[in-house]
């Protein structure tokens, strides 16, 4: 770049990260220096030997560079979905690999896992966590109504929030003991479409017969059974998510073809807890696998017995601070 004379006019097209590299090449070594200004920020003092840059772009402003962003959350354990085992499996295939079909979905899973690990652990203020309760809490025959509207559905509330937000992650608790993989996968994928990929979930179990009374099967599962079911639940949900490839939906008007292959959405799960097969009804978003955003709760990752704690104190008092209301449980039950 020494061929450019001091003060020579240079027209630069583009204001992206490549412009920063070009600007350094055109100015470095020409005598300019940085000094600390009154505000403590570095200020460039030109020497007069630099060329004059005239920069243009469709945006009109430079892109925000983020090379110095420090991770604030837990370090994501990567690779999680695209490790050595997956690479060896791809290399061992006899047929040619298709990047969008075979490679990109695995990469997208790892990228998504890293992104959401940082979002959830490094920026918890940007995530609104919605805990699921399948029954109002009760102690000694009295209901503890700690929520203004009771215990709303996990998926309905985030769906409403998705319509009025665009930068919040939308996560809720999903009970694996009294729900079915197909039902949850369908609702979760639907929410993922409505929120443009911001859906996430925390999978937990329920241990008490009190909650089970709300369901036809009733009762409860033992500790080993409910954690075993939760693991099978997650595996089944992932199978449903994976039943749609990234390029499964063609929607080609000219040819009249909607699907790339007639087997799109086909799944089959047969294990100790689930015996299901069929066609999953909701395609996933292109280039993303929502299964990577279903996080296992502590009890699902390891055998862990937790006490069922009930609050026994008021929130406090003052403007805008609700007080706990205790309602006799019998008041909400049909009278004989």
> Which CATH number fits the domain 126-329, given the four candidates 3.30.565.10, 3.60.15.10, 3.20.20.30, 3.40.50.300?
3.20.20.30
Query: Which residue did the predictor score with more confidence, 143 or 190?
Result: 190
Query: Looking at residue 315, what is its pLDDT?
Result: 25
pLDDT digit string, tens, across residues 29-63: 889 998 998 888 889 899 999 999 888 887 777 77
Average pLDDT, the chain: 77
**Nearest-angstrom CA–CA distance, 247 and 103:** 12
Q: What sections of 28-103 are H helices per DSSP?
A: 84-91
- Partners of 328 in beta bridges: 142
pLDDT of residue 295: 56
User: What residue ranges do the domains of the chain occupy?
Assistant: 1-69, 77-122, 126-329
Structure-derived torsion over alpha carbons of residues 237, 175, 166, 122, reported in degrees to the nearest 10: -100
Res 235: pLDDT = 92
pLDDT digits (tens, 9 = 90+) for 235-287: 999 899 889 887 888 888 888 888 888 888 899 999 999 999 999 999 887 55
Which residues sit opposite 257 in a β-bridge?
Answer: 252
Average pLDDT for 142-158: 68
> pLDDT grade, residue 303 (50/70/90)?
very low
pLDDT for position 105: 86
Q: What percent of the chain has pLDDT over 70?
A: 76
In contact, 25 and 1? CB cutoff 8 Å? yes
pLDDT value, residue 90: 93
**Residue 324 or residue 60, greater confidence:** 60
Residue 319 has pLDDT above 60, yes or no: no
Q: CA-CA distance, 231 to 300, in Å (whole number)?
A: 7
Largest pairwise CA distance in the chain: 97
pLDDT at 233 over 90: yes
Place 150 in a pLDDT band, splitting at 50, 70 and 90: low
Half-sphere exposure of 45 (CA within 13 A, CB side): 8
Lowest mean pLDDT among 31-40, 67-76, 141-150, 322-331: 322-331
pLDDT higher than threshold 90 for residue 320: no
According to the model, what pLDDT value does residue 310 have?
Answer: 25
pLDDT of 27 higher than 70? yes
Average pLDDT (312-333) is: 31
pLDDT value, residue 306: 29
- What percent of the chain stands above pLDDT 90? 21
The string of pLDDT tens digits covering residues 2-24 is 788 888 999 988 888 788 888 88
pLDDT at residue 13, as a whole number: 86
Give the pLDDT of residue 208. 72
Contacts of residue 134, Cβ cutoff 8 Å, sequence gap at least 6:
151, 175, 178, 206, 211, 214, 215
Those residues with Cβ within 8 angstroms of residue 64's Cβ, 6 or more apart along the chain or in another chain: none
Query: Bigger pLDDT: 146 or 220?
Result: 220
3-state secondary structure of 50: coil
Report which listed range, 111-125, 176-190, 318-332, is most confident: 176-190
Specify the pLDDT at position 1. Answer: 66
Provide the CB-side half-sphere exposure for 233 (13 A, CA): 27
For residues 208 and 185, which has the higher predicted lDDT (pLDDT)? Answer: 185
| Confidence at residue 270, expressed as pLDDT on a 0 to 100 scale | 95
Question: Mapping DSSP to helix (H, G, I), strand (E, B) and coil, where does residue 41 land?
Answer: coil
Q: Which residue has the tokens 């937000």?
A: 165
Mean pLDDT of 98-104: 89
Residue 157 has pLDDT above 50, yes or no: yes
Residue 98 has pLDDT above 60, yes or no: yes
């Amino acid at each position: 770049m020494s061929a450019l004379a001091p003060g020579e006019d240079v027209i630069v097209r583009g204001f992206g990260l490549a412009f920063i590299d070009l600007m350094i090449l055109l100015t470095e070594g020409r005598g300019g220096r940085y000094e600390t200004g009154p505000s403590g920020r570095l200020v460039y003092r030109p020497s007069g030997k630099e060329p004059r840059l005239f920069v243009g772009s469709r945006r009109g402003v430079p892109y925000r560079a983020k090379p110095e962003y420090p991770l604030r959350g837990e370090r994501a354990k990567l690779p999680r979905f695209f490790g050595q085992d997956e690479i060896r499996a791809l290399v061992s295939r006899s047929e040619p690999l298709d990047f969008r079909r075979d490679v990109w979905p695995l990469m997208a899973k790892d990228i998504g896992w890293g992104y959401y690990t940082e979002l959830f652990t490094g920026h918890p203020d940007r995530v609104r966590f919605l805990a699921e309760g399948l029954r109002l809490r009760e102690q000694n025959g009295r209901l503890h109504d700690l929520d203004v509207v009771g215990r709303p559905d996990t998926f309905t509330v985030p769906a409403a929030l998705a319509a009025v937000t665009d930068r919040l992650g939308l996560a809720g608790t999903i009970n694996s003991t009294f729900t079915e993989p197909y039902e949850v996968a369908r609702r979760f994928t639907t929410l993922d479409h409505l929120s443009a990929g911001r859906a996430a979930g925390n999978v937990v179990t329920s241990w008490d017969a009190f909650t089970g009374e709300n369901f036809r099967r009733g009762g409860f599962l033992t500790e080993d059974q409910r954690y075993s079911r939760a693991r099978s639940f997650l595996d089944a949900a992932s199978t449903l998510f994976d039943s749609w490839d990234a390029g499964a939906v063609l929607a080609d008007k000219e040819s009249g073809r909607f699907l790339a292959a007639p087997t799109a959405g086909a799944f089959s799960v047969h294990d100790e807890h689930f015996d299901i097969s069929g066609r999953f009804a909701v395609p996933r978003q292109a280039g993303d696998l929502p299964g990577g955003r279903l996080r296992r709760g502590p009890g699902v990752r390891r055998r862990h017995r937790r006490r069922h704690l009930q609050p026994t104190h008021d929130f406090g008092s003052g403007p805008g601070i609700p007080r706990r209301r205790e309602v006799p449980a019998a008041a909400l039950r049909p009278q004989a």
